[in-house]
Amino acid sequence: MNENPQNSVSPKTIEQVYQPVTRRTFLKGTAAAMAGLAGLVAALKPLLALERGEMTLDDLLQKHYRELKPEELQRILRELEARCAREHGVQPVIRDLKPLPGVEFGYALNLTRCIGCRKCAHACLQENNQSRSSADDIEMSYIRVLELKKGAINLEESDLYYNPQTVPQKDKYYMPVQCHQCREAPCTKVCPVQATWQEADGIVVVDYNWCIGCRYCMAACPYDARRFNYRKPNLQSARINPNQSYLSNRIRPKGVVEKCTFCLHRTRDGKYPACLEVCPTGARVFGNLLDPDSEISYILKNKRVYILKEDVGTLPRFYYFFDQ
Amino acid sequence: MSEYLTFLWRVVRISFQGSWKFYAWMTLLSVVSLVGLHAYARQVVEGLETTGMTNQVSWGAYIANFTFLVGVAAAAVMLVIPAYIYKKQFMHEVVLFGELMAIAVIIMCLLFVTVDLGHPERFHHMIPPFGIFNFPGSILSWDVIVLNGYLLLNLHIAGYLLYCRYRQTQPTKKFYIPFVFISIAWAVSIHTVTAFLYVGLAGRSYWHHPLVPSRFLASAFVAGPALMILVFQVIRRFVRYWIGDEPIFTLRMIMTVAMIINMFLLGCELFTEFYSPTQHAAAAHYLYFGLHGHNGLVAWIWTAIVLDLVGLALLITPISRKITGLNLACVACVVGIWIEKGMGLIIPGFVPSPLGQIVEYLPTFNETLVCVGIWAFGALLYSWMLHVAIPIMNGSLRARPEIASSTQPSS
């Protein structure tokens, strides 16, 4: 075997490995370790800016919502209230509302009546405490209103950022899209940690304290119905809705996915969703699919109903219908 | 036990012994890794807003690199099959380098997934009994199993064989041969399951396509061997371990066949998308030609196609029988497939969005630093493993140095 100066490990070096550590090697090693450690500390320095209380041991040890004992859940709710008061100066009431027995929610939207005013998208933002960079910023709203050309239902030709002087425009019609609360929900199926699931009343919810933020559910959703908190939610205290619930509109941490819950903090309390209440044309119909006398059941029985992306096989609980 | 501790101690010792070139290389990689770590620390504090991702394009460079690297890891099997099934002795001399690469690359994959998480500190939510494992529903939980399983398999096989070599004893077959055969099937599974991550989403027509897993495997068996060939050249040039031409040209043959299949499948895909373009072809249209004036990926994909074609042309002609020609083919194929499978597969899945909007994606500077950092860390890991493994392989680092080595290669 000939000596090759390019060898990374020469026989001489190998020889050293078998010998006890010399003083020189020890000092060299220590110096290298110190340099490495200094580099590591310097690299991790930004972590000092983490806010206090952003990552607590309690958070790390918290169990999945469905495995929490009632008293554990109550303690967490009080803690979340205190956190909101501390960080935003608003004292909320955070409740845990369970699905009502004998209720399966359904939503129908009248495409003949909708005028594309986007009031629903704004009301959603007010109700659900989404992050926004300005009062008009509806990017995080759970409702996306599409402007479509009359004559077809072609989403590819739709415009989300339409901005004419007045709506509706003559040759256009409008289609608000939000979570369809699918019976065969692709989003809950793909979640690796079951942080999102379907409740007994059909509403698909997210445990924001359990979500790991992988965004697989967003990739799976055919309706673009999920939003991700790429940063800590930006909210003005004056605009915070203090009527909150654990599974819906409480203020989210950064790094988790959120979505429309049919305003379950209202609807499980006998009220209508915020988007329905604000609609100026009465295009929105909400109710119990299991009640044969409800308005929603009447519409599904008697109107020409359209299901968005029916070919994907998601079996939505959200329907579109037409008057004429 | 004490012999094993001595072994570990010697591994530690040799990790810090080397020429100035070795020190310079390792220092460079460490610095770049730390720069990446710094960028990641910033991301942890500020959130994923430091990346170019949006609600519409919710996966980006991290997942793209992850996808590419899973293929590279799977391709270690292309050294294992000739060595263990066709019993080619010359492949036995290099198969370990493939397994070590698989280890380094799987660790890179796990890092790329971790940096993509909004809440990496909640990782234990996947691990029972601390968490809930959505198995078998979620393909992501399948992926966690197959990737970690593949990592363990390779750690066991490579670690066991190296330790036997160090002690200069014959490895006991039943301790490793069954695992070698499991690892062959397992390698195919890691890339197939990763393809199913995308194929399983019916709402994304660009991905919901039965050809995707086959193309994944075909392109992986090009990019992986290509990287191996380049690594072999480096080992030949800088390190005390002789690698003959035979393993390199065996890999060349594998690459050539895989590349032909890959390009054929690409042709099938293009025909299906463009001969009778449906609304579902919008993503492909965006990728290759741009859509409604948005053409962020067009330059990328055509670069990839040209590189793929150059690589293919070099591989099927005698030019690649010369080492320079082969190296050129390898570089062209690796870069081409990295673009095609990363940006070319992940991003068009999100553009246009399911509601028809076009939101383009470009990685930010911070996001790029994190990616570069992980690549550097992977290279660091692999360099270190080679640095330790090669003296063991060539018999210069052994349990009883006083006894003359009998496993010295004949070179």
Residue B302 in domain? no
- List Cβ neighbours of B241 (8 Å cut-off, separation of 6 or more): B235, B390, B393, B394, B409
Pick from A50, A58, A77, A68: nearest CA to A250: A77
Predicted pLDDT of residue A4: 42
Following DSSP, what letter does each residue of B253-311 receive, concatenated? HHHHHHHHHHHHHHHHHHHHHHHS--GGGHHHHHHHH-BTTB-TTHHHHHHHHHHHHHH
Residue B321 in domain? no
Q: Which residues of chain A lie closer than 8 angstroms to B120, CB-CB?
A: 212
Tens digits of residue pLDDT in B117-174: 999 999 999 888 888 888 888 999 999 999 999 999 999 999 999 999 999 999 999 9
* Shortest Cα–Cα distance, B3 to chain A (Å): 13
Q: Which residues of chain A lie closer than 8 angstroms to B132, CB-CB?
A: 64, 193-194
Residue B340 in domain? no
Residue B313 in domain? no
Predicted pLDDT of residue B405: 53
CATH at residue B30: 1.20.1630
Q: Which residues of chain B lie closer than 8 angstroms to A160, CB-CB?
A: 355, 357
Contact call for B17 and A17, based on CB within 8 A: yes
In chain A, what are the domain boundaries?
Answer: 97-322
According to DSSP, residue A93 is labeled E
Q: What angle do CA A277, B353, A168 make, to 5 degrees?
A: 45
Length of chain B: 411
Residue of B nearest to A49 (CA): B45
Q: Which residues of chain A lie closer than 8 angstroms to B19, CB-CB?
A: 5-8, 10
Q: Is the pLDDT of residue B40 over 90?
A: yes
Predicted pLDDT of residue B19: 86
Quote the ipTM score. Answer: 0.93
A197 beta partners = A205
Question: Average pLDDT of B36-42?
Answer: 97
The mean pLDDT values, 10 residues at a time, for chain A of 324 residues are 46 79 85 91 90 78 92 95 93 96 97 96 96 91 96 92 94 97 96 96 97 96 97 92 96 96 97 97 97 96 96 96 87
Tens digits of residue pLDDT in B257-313: 999 999 999 999 999 999 988 888 999 999 999 999 999 999 999 999 999 999 999
How many separate domains does chain B show?
1
Residue labelled with tokens 């060539």: B394
Contact call for B44 and A46, based on CB within 8 A: yes
- List Cβ neighbours of B16 (8 Å cut-off, separation of 6 or more): A28, A29, A32
Domain, as residue range, for B111: 11-256+364-393
Which CATH number among 3.40.50.2000, 3.30.70.20, 1.10.1060.10, 3.40.50.300 corresponds to the domain A97-322? Answer: 3.30.70.20
Tens digits of residue pLDDT in B138-154: 999 999 999 999 999 99
Question: Average pLDDT of B49-70?
Answer: 96
Pick from A141, A143, A145, A173: nearest CA to A160: A145
Average pLDDT along chain B: 92
